[in-house]
Structure 1
């Protein structure tokens, strides 16, 4: 299969991906939680089919467009985990008549618009902010939560499902335990306050670092991470996974080798990897870790690190180890583990398995 690759190609190791899903499903079961994965990373029907093998029947997406793409595969519920865009209400009604959906609400204004215009039954979560600061209702502001719930009651087709937290700041701090303590407290407080009026409400938390590393979820009902299916170099640096758990690698052709500079030029740049970046201890940039590709089997993480030090649109320059410089030739293929697998997958819009099977992606090829 590698012999057929002539340009940057995103490879997926099916077994690693399945192992990642199985491990998270087992963790959810251990804690009595439902796993409702966010499909914004994979955006693939086939990867969704792999998830079904572990009892997953409900998924999360990040847009109505993505919900439409996944709706053709008869999921029990598709939740759109982004503050609802009221300009899409009529398109939403059309899709909701074919696929059971739920949405995310963060203010009474949009809730009123939805209640006034919804023509098909749908559920909603109220997104809660417990410290991240990106979006959501601060959990202490129960008066605002009550306004949203009151506005929603205007339409019997709109049903309250519960509270949702994405503690995205777990990506940027080592104190994941502290973040989860705060999130558990917020969701437990809200559940105790509203459960008598809404006995079926659920609480959901959705970030890969916390769901991977934590072992205390309190009485949270559901977990909804997404990046865990593939993982990436950022997750490995956080400690969510090892490099060997990363399920995707960008295959890039070597087009020049500068031994005296310790650099390798590859066809693979920002339009393929994205420009997400990490920083090395010396302050240099890292756009992806080099692995060795092998025909039909998992890629090998080398003993001596090499990484992409810079990217432009199509170019990538690798800071190469002595081991890599000795073993590589112009025309060879190298693998690059992405800094952010969600963005790399979105750039590439399809995958090839190690045995050459083409996998779909919502933004590219459909099956």
Structure 2
């Protein structure tokens, strides 16, 4: 039976071959630059996809929350890093994970470091997150006083072990000059490495963002990369130049429930609860919540004439259709929608279906 015969409601399709190719390509880029690839699993959030990653030499992963770290623990990872300023209210959960799983956290203030020193029951590692221009979170790159205060507090415990510096240049998502952002990031991490490597000879520097990791080839002396979205990619990454649309490994299969020929619009069962509400806006102010692909027995094809999701509500989506699509569509058909933001779409859907009709787990899904 074709996977298409199983679809009666919005279903997130996963092309394993494309996903594996994306992982392989990034692993090869890391190897070319003598870097370790530690992918951020906030995108995939899947044990099965984690097993695929291991086939390409990946031994450590990154999580965005203690909940995700709980889900990923016990799966054979050498270390799980929580790349979010650590919430000290979750120290009891951290202790429980650390009893059986190597884990590290991210620190940006002295208060949390002190609470960890006082309450840790098992050894953990920590990175100091650095802000070198993004402005969302992290210790200012020039704030050596705070960096050294955190390091001094950590020295009071044999359970809180410094691993290095982590930097997420998230402004690569909305500032066009990615090379300039990466020069800033490289310089910041190199300066910190030079300043602290005598005292901490094993310290590593890690950078984590998909646009930069996908586009750049010069990472300087950065030791590790931790992109996440690259396993699936999406329309946002394609717009940023990090991938082609053919590299997008997921699409939302949606049933067609009505057609308005006079308006060239198609109503689908697929809305914000399935895709989230990330949007691309073109130079004319036209909103794009996802683009139509044609499903077939082997996956999907990208049509030459573009049709796109012009608006969404909770369960509804309205497609602005091309002449080609209008000539061939009928109520009861199933279309594919390439997501604007695959991380949020996967989180909203909670599981995947492969092109051979198998379910793949997701941390937020029923399978878990």
The answer to whether the superposition gives a TM-score over 0.5 is: yes
Partner Cα distance (2:367, 2:83) in 1: 22
SS at match of 1:310: strand
Partner Cα distance (1:4, 1:186) in 2: 51
Partner Cα distance (2:74, 2:118) in 1: 28
Q: Is residue 284 of structure 2 the alignment partner of residue 282 of structure 1? A: yes
Q: Which residue of 1 aligns with 2:202?
A: 200
Q: Which residue of 1 aligns with 2:269?
A: 267
Q: Is residue 235 of structure 2 the alignment partner of residue 233 of structure 1? A: yes
Q: Which residue of 2 aligns with 1:340?
A: 341
Displaced runs of 4 or more, over 4 A: none
Instruction: Give the number of equivalent residue pairs.
Output: 366
Q: Is residue 47 of structure 2 the alignment partner of residue 45 of structure 1? A: yes
Unaligned runs of 5+ in 1: none
Q: Is residue 364 of structure 2 the alignment partner of residue 363 of structure 1? A: yes
Structure 1 residue 4: Cα displacement: 1.7
Partner Cα distance (2:110, 2:216) in 1: 33
Q: 1:165 aligns with which of 167, 182, 201?
A: 167
Q: Which residue of 1 aligns with 2:319?
A: 318
Counting only pairs closer than 5 Å after superposition, residues 1-367 of structure 1 correspond to structure 2 as: 1-295=3-297, 297-366=298-367
Please list the CA deviations of residues 188-226 of structure 1 after superposition, one character each: whole Å capped at 9, or x if unmatched: 000000000000000000000000000100000000000
Q: Is the 8 A contact 2:6 2:357 kept in 1?
A: no
Structure 1 residue 259: Cα displacement: 1.1
Unaligned runs of 5+ in 2: none
Partner Cα distance (1:364, 1:3) in 2: 22
Q: Is the 8 A contact 2:122 2:159 kept in 1?
A: yes
TM value normalised by structure 1: 0.99
Q: Is the 8 A contact 2:23 2:231 kept in 1?
A: yes
Partner Cα distance (2:175, 2:294) in 1: 31
SS at match of 1:309: strand
SS at match of 1:261: coil
Partner Cα distance (1:35, 1:300) in 2: 30
Structure 1 residue 84: Cα displacement: 0.4
Partner Cα distance (1:309, 1:13) in 2: 25
Please list the CA deviations of residues 142-167 of structure 1 after superposition, one character each: whole Å capped at 9, or x if unmatched: 11100010111111111000000000
The root-mean-square deviation of aligned C-alpha atoms, in Å, is: 0.7
